[in-house]
Amino acid sequence: MTVALAFGRTSTTDDVLDGVDLKGKRVLVTGVSAGLGVETARVLAAHGAEVTGTARDLAKAERATAEARAEATRGGGSITITELDLASLKSVRACADKLLADARPFDVVIANAGVMRTPFWHTEDGFEIQFGTNHIGHFAFVNRIAPLIASGGRLVNVSSAGHRYSDVDLDDPNFEHMPYEPMIAYGRSKTANILFAVEFDRRHKSRGVRATAIHPGGIRTELARHIEPHEIEKMLEQINAQQANLGRPPFQWKTIPQGAATSVWAAFVAPADDVGAKYCEDCHVAAINEGEMDILSGGVRRYALDPERAKALWANSEDWIGERF
């Protein structure tokens, strides 16, 4: 058994990085104003990394990372925060230009920020908000700063088991011709995160840069702020009824350190060739699962790893934002 296989569902970020020295490493993490982003930045900096975090609300991010920044100082690392609103291509381009002007390379980029199950509205540039924020914003941002990812570096896209709700819709990404369904929209955006990693990996692996996508697991974070509490309870009842029928124990939430573990595992612990162009969960590479919708059974839909689908999404995304990479 390799070290990369020694972790699982209950492993935490500290478990995964135990004994790992990240001094001299530079990491960019999007979405460091709450939840997984804060924990990811915390543990990386605590192990000596220089972390650049991004957030739409700088004041909120400064408050959220105050304790983590103090811990980072003790561990020889650091956390700095820069403004990035993924729902605005103007903001995306400004942030990318700032980083490019600074010209310091990154060893890892973790595309962590996102929104989930929102009401129907649009980004500043007219994209459905979940697809526009989770995919389009990251697609434009990461591609613009791709020259800064050093050889031997990695891109980690935080996706979700929610990708199993829907493949991407290349003809109607903004629900102009079909009724809006929040979870279908979320599923499309999370499938897009995986497909983006697949094509980014193909384009950059020749220079030693690999890309992967991960599912953090079920965690109570601000991501679910658009879901009413009674909806969550109803969802849990349905999940646990299904679990009982399958002879499985009841669902248990992951802690935030457990949820962020797969991100840092894929970024610094797992062999690059194992995770490149793959989808990971619970600190391992997931298998294809084409069974009925059962979020807790794990696995990845085949369509989310389809290389031709990934190429098509890339081409369409370039057309949608008017840039070529």
Look at strands 149-158 and 284-285 and give their pairing. Answer: unpaired
Distance between CA 170 and CA 95 in Å, rounded?
27
- Strand-pair category, 279-281 with 284-285: antiparallel
Token pair for 67: 């304790």
In this prediction the pTM is: 0.92
- Tokens 């989808």 found at: 279
Residue 186 annotated in active site: yes
CA distance to 66, 138, 211, 268, per residue, from 156 (Å): 24, 11, 6, 10
Q: Are strands 149-158 and 210-215 parallel, antiparallel or unpaired?
A: parallel
| 3-class state of residue 308 by DSSP | helix
Cα 240 to Cα 116, 175, 184, 233, distances in angstroms: 22, 32, 22, 10
pLDDT at residue 177, as a whole number: 97
Q: CATH assignment of 3-320, given 3.30.70.3340, 3.40.50.1950, 3.30.70.260, 3.40.50.720?
A: 3.40.50.720
What is the reported pLDDT for 225? 60
Model pLDDT, residue 174: 98
What are the domain boundaries of the chain?
3-320
Which DSSP symbol is given to 213? E
**What is the b/e burial string over 44-55, where b = at least 16 CB atoms within 10 angstroms of the residue's CB?**
bbbbbbbbbbbb
The active-site residue, picked from 180, 186, 279, 303, is: 186
Residue 247 has a pLDDT of 78
Q: What is the pLDDT of residue 120?
A: 97
C-alpha 155 chain-centroid distance: 10
| Averaged pLDDT in 10-residue chunks for the chain of 325 residues | 68 97 98 96 98 98 96 93 98 98 98 95 98 98 98 98 96 97 96 99 98 92 61 72 76 91 98 98 95 76 98 98 98
What pLDDT sits at residue 298?
Answer: 87
CA distance 56 to 64: 13
Two tokens, residue 284: 């391992």
Please report the pLDDT score of residue 233 as a whole number: 75
